[in-house]
């Protein structure tokens, strides 16, 4: 069976967009500003491993939980689309989404010595929006090949985060706050389009 490269590219863009690395960069730069490079690499590896494990877990098990609870797929598509739309709206205004973290969690992260898992991996990178997107993409796969392809895309998108965060300090210095906000707004627009597509599919399936 031939792979649908257009669909795979679309799913990869969805994953990279929902992980919102550029909106997390300023927080990461602040948290790691005084770290030696070796510790910075170690913390980043721990963060990305946590993100990968979290997303793969929900890809393979998330929908079964909803089936046990009796939640229909169209309802989840609409609810998930609304969650993602809320995040996208915050990104369009270049504000951190309160779905990802609260003000108290942001303040606590500045005081914690090990921030790599909480709050950086969860809930900043692999938060409700990323988990919802993975589960919605998972239900669209029609066979095992599709499931394995999605797993590969999750691995690729997580790996692509590594060079972004490794170059975070010089990149943030070059982009500045204005450049970071512009990128965040662009990704917010893409994310909003993805959210609308999920909501439309949920509504169509509900009436069908």
pLDDT, residue 110, reads: 46
pLDDT, residue 42, reads: 93
DSSP string across 65-118 = HHHHHT--HHHHHHHHHHHHHHHHHHHHTT---TTT--HHHHHHHHH-S--III
pLDDT, residue 52, reads: 96
Q: What domains does the chain contain, in order, with CATH numbers?
A: 5-207 (1.20.1250)
Taking 70 as the pLDDT cut, the residues of the chain under it are: 1-3, 20-21, 94-113, 208
pLDDT, residue 190, reads: 85
């Amino acid at each position: 069976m031939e792979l649908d490269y257009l669909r795979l590219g679309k799913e990869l863009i969805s994953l990279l967009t929902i992980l919102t690395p550029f909106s997390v960069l300023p927080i990461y730069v602040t948290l790691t500003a005084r770290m030696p490079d070796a510790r910075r690499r170690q913390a980043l590896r721990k963060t990305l491993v946590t993100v990968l494990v979290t997303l793969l877990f929900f890809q393979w098990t998330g929908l079964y939980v909803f089936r046990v609870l009796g939640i229909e797929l169209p309802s989840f598509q609409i609810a998930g689309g609304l969650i993602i739309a809320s995040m996208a709206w915050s990104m369009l205004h270049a504000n951190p989404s309160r779905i990802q973290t609260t003000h108290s969690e942001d303040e606590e992260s500045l005081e914690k010595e090990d921030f790599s898992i909480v709050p950086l991996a969860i809930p900043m990178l692999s938060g409700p929006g990323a988990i919802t997107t993975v589960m919605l993409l998972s239900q669209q796969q029609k066979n095992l090949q599709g499931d394995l392809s999605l797993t590969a895309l999750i691995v690729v998108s997580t790996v692509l985060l590594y060079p972004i965060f490794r170059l975070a300090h010089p990149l943030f210095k070059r982009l500045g706050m204005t450049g970071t906000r512009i990128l965040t707004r662009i990704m917010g627009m893409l994310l909003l389009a993805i959210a609308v597509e999920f909501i439309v599919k949920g509504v169509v399936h509900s009436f069908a």
